[in-house]
Amino acid sequence: MILIEEALQLIDAQASPLAPTKIAVTQSLGTVLAEDVCSDIDSPPHDKAMMDGYAILAEDLQQGKAQLKIIEEVTAGQVPTKALSSGEATRIMTGAPVPTGATAVVMIERTTVADDSPELVAINDASIVAGKNIMLQATSLKTGQVVLPKGTLIRPIEIGILSEVGRVEVLVQPRPSLAVLCTGNELVSPEIKPGPGIIRNSNGPMLSAQAQNVGAEVHYLGIGRDDEAELKSLITQGLQHDVLVLSGGVSAGVLDLVPKLLADQDVKQVFHKVSIKPGKPIWFGVKDHGDRKTLVFGLPGNPVSSMVCFELFVRQAIGKLLGRSDQALGTVKTRLAQEFTHRGNRPTLFPAKLIQQEDQKIVSPINWKGSADLGSLTNADVLIYFPGGDHVYAVDDEVDALIL
Amino acid sequence: MILIEEALQLIDAQASPLAPTKIAVTQSLGTVLAEDVCSDIDSPPHDKAMMDGYAILAEDLQQGKAQLKIIEEVTAGQVPTKALSSGEATRIMTGAPVPTGATAVVMIERTTVADDSPELVAINDASIVAGKNIMLQATSLKTGQVVLPKGTLIRPIEIGILSEVGRVEVLVQPRPSLAVLCTGNELVSPEIKPGPGIIRNSNGPMLSAQAQNVGAEVHYLGIGRDDEAELKSLITQGLQHDVLVLSGGVSAGVLDLVPKLLADQDVKQVFHKVSIKPGKPIWFGVKDHGDRKTLVFGLPGNPVSSMVCFELFVRQAIGKLLGRSDQALGTVKTRLAQEFTHRGNRPTLFPAKLIQQEDQKIVSPINWKGSADLGSLTNADVLIYFPGGDHVYAVDDEVDALIL
């Protein structure tokens, strides 16, 4: 039995970022760039107006005032055809190139055109100095410049920048493909009313949602009975993916066939059992296909154990495959809202509720009945980490909490 | 021109949660329950074993020791057929029903079966008391009990609970359908190299990604030219959705046709212009179809203005339609890493980078050139809120920052 930290290190050592793949920019949200992206343009491509109004020569103004002759109107998508001389103005739209000779743009609200002399514009804006309301060419992006370095996480802003520099496809660490397989003769699908000794399979839909939540492409393989031939075929399918998450079948029971079948298919065990509660029986191994690997997680069948092991271990592996360093569970330092007695040698992750108290958040362990009690977890926002060993915690004691 | 808070209140007043819709549980992640969900079963459905091992009578142990006769083996999915009497044990798997008469389960690791007497099991576990390793029927869920009340946000845990109580479909506040339409003669698609006066449309892909990020179903309508017939047809399409996000066309320019076309289609203006930088020209209105509404946001065409207005205003509206109260941008109190001079009457949202300094995070405004400069924003994690009015901020001054 190894420690949580050792388990995480062993997973990290096996989970290398996936081979970079070209995908559509519109599909790239949440992935990580596997190339330096350069700009193929200057942005703005020309000195451009930042306001709707008139391009002028700043030096034409006297205490902010002047009456100027309108020589041209440039709307969006058009370019000026006339250079501006002293005494002249060009009507211009936000984003349009300013004409040669212009040194400032006066916003439309500071100008008046009289009905009886529509060729003249009166300016009144004491704030105008050279450069005002003009964005110089290449201020935002320069041709050839690396605008997004390899390793950048693609957020909506980066999707905007990629589009601005002409990218419709981009090389990224792809989303890992992840198979979920639930094992056990006692399981039936949620639509079936379970008979004696039978339970509904809540882990399949839950683990699929957890995987989807952290950016994996999920393939749900359904329920595998404790039958060698059937399980073998499903495991073979699962090993076609980057990650195979099994639930059930890794404890020490008579019919826990999973470790044997995995060994038969050359999945090498990395560890089995971690000193943690819930989740002790977790199994982790790797199938090396030569050109790629499949990471195999055997999670305990009890739903809370499965849920916790996914958040703690599988989630970190998915983050590593995606090339993201920000995807392990977030931890907060917080204080206990009530006394709590921890017993046992294993470190425990105990479900708890965050409570806002004045300007800080404190945590209150929920009334939880153990690893088969998923029902109570709808009241939980965090898992409190209690180190191994018997200890009575007092109200206000500081604890670490992992945010669900 | 109204204040940010007034704008948010006006949006809130128009954005009511959408009509509840039945969707597949597997598609429900991130939505909010529109019904009370009751359990149709007890969970566990029987007193069940929490460990692989032997069901016994706790009182048979003397200082934790006994040798008992194995009367039956119950694997997962099976039920015991024999009641347990003193001196007997039933081999049992995690999750299986315990036989009548059993008062505890001893884990397999604390038992031994000798090869020469396979009908007997030796127990050695001083921790056994009545009830040990048995989870009583209905501890987690009771038949008829409301397990998930209306208003619950569906996370992976709730998907697990819904599956456990037999739900494959569930009534939720559905994801709003949201159309994105970018207007302007100066725009071309990202794959085109822009000629003079032309820019690539970065807002379309960026706004689509922002909307996807907060749970909307996105329909991208592409680029609308400043042509009345074309724009009218696209706006008509857009008004079929719950939200229509336009970018461009709401400033005071000659070709800013959008407000007129919206009025022609009975979209009632709620506000135009908010005291904020960037994003002042934002327009908001509502089309009442009788049985449903379309919320229409006209965002300024400059990419940073569009991005900020979406995060501040559209995101809050989507959260309201989804019935989620947790979806407005998060705010953190933080401190400035450098001096900063704010000028102007409008409150400003200034892009900045979070820097970890010892155990706290401080913020450093980025070198940002204004609302057309999207390129620099890849360095930003937050937007610092500076209230209106000229003010010189010192290093270490406390500021509010909105997390991107």
pLDDT digits (tens, 9 = 90+) for B232-242: 999 999 999 99
Residue reference for tokens 């008829």: B144
The pTM (predicted TM-score) of the whole model is 0.90
User: B158 and B197: one domain?
Assistant: no
**Count of H-run helices and E-run strands, chain A:** 7, 28
Which tens digit of pLDDT belongs to each residue from A38-58?
999 998 888 999 888 999 999
More confident residue, A126 or B251: A126
**pLDDT tens-digit map of B189-229:** 999 999 887 889 999 999 999 999 999 999 999 999 878 89
Contact A149, A189 (CB under 8 A): no
Asked if B374 lies within 8 A of A161 by C-beta distance, the reply is yes
Query: In CATH, what number is assigned to the domain containing residue A238?
Result: 3.40.980.10
Residues of chain A with C-beta less than 8 angstroms from the C-beta of B184? 76-77, 95
- A251·B52 Cβ contact <8 A: yes
Question: B162 and B194 in one domain?
Answer: no
pLDDT score at B254: 45
Classify residue B2 by burial, with Cβ atoms within 10 Å: 0-12, 13-18, 19+: middle
Q: What is the pLDDT of residues B341-386, one digit of tens each?
A: 999 999 999 999 999 888 788 999 999 988 889 999 999 999 999 9
Q: How many domains does chain A have?
A: 4
Average pLDDT for residues B80-91, to the nearest whole number? 96
A187 shares its domain with A234:
yes
What confidence tier does A250 reach under pLDDT thresholds 50, 70, 90?
low
- A337 and A194 together in one domain: no
pLDDT in tens, B247-268: 987 655 544 678 889 999 999 9
The set of residues, in sequence order, having a beta carbon less than 8 Å from that of A98 and lying 6+ positions away, is A46, A47, A48, A49, A55, A80, A90, A92, A105, A134
Q: In the predicted model, what is the mean pLDDT of residues A164-193?
A: 95
B308: confidence class by pLDDT, cuts 50, 70, 90: very high
Q: Cα–Cα distance between A301 and A180 in angstroms, integer?
A: 13
Are A299 and A190 in a shared domain?
A: yes
Q: What is the pLDDT of residues A67-99, one digit of tens each?
A: 999 999 998 678 999 999 999 999 998 888 999
Determine whether the interchain pair A377/B161 forms a contact, defined as Cβ–Cβ distance below 8 Å.
yes
Phi and psi of B48, rounded to 5°?
A: -125, 155
Three-state secondary structure call for residue B14: helix
The per-residue pLDDT of chain A, averaged, comes to 93
Q: What is the mean pLDDT of the segment spanning B305-311?
A: 96
Domain match, A97 and A157 both: no
Q: Does B164 touch chain A (CB under 8 A)?
A: yes
Same domain, A150 and A38: yes
How far does the CA of residue B332 sit from the closest CA of chain A (Å)?
12
Q: Report the alpha-carbon distance of residue A245 to residue B198 in Å, rounded.
A: 50
Is it the case that residue A254 has pLDDT exceeding 50?
Answer: no
Last residue of a domain, one of B322, B349, B364: B322
Token pair in block for residue B145: 């009990």
Which amino acid, B10? Answer: L
pLDDT of the residue at A315: 96
On whether both B198 and B287 belong to a single domain, the answer is: yes
pLDDT of A167: 97
CATH of the domain at A353: 2.40.340.10
Among candidate residues B267, B287, B322, the one where a domain is terminated: B322
Residue A75 to residue B164, Cβ atoms within 8 A:
no
Q: Where does a domain end: B173, B193, B226?
A: B173
Structural domain boundaries enclosing A361: 331-403
Asked if A166 and A29 sit in the same domain, the reply is yes
CB spacing of A190 vs B210 below 8 angstroms: no
Cα dihedral sign, A50-A53-A57-A63: negative
State the smallest CA–CA distance between residue B127 and chain A in angstroms. Answer: 12
Mean pLDDT of chain B: 93
Please state whether beta strands A169-173 and A21-24 pair in parallel, antiparallel, or not at all (unpaired). Answer: antiparallel
- Asked if residue A290 has pLDDT above 50, the reply is yes
Name the residue among B156, B200, B251 with its Cβ closest to that of A163: B200
Instruction: State whether A164 and A179 are in the same domain.
Output: no
Pair (B113, B252) in one structural domain: no
B46/A contact by beta carbon, under 8 A: yes
**Cβ-proximal residues to B303 (8 Å cutoff; 6+ apart), any chain:** A160, A164, B202, B203, B206, B371, B372, B374
B26:A209 CB<8 A: yes
Considering only CB atoms, which chain B residues are within 8 Å of A160? 202-203, 205-206, 209, 303, 307, 374
Q: Are residues B206 and B232 in the same domain?
A: yes
Task: Kindly determine whether residue A76 and residue B155, on different chains, have CB atoms separated by under 8 Å.
Answer: no
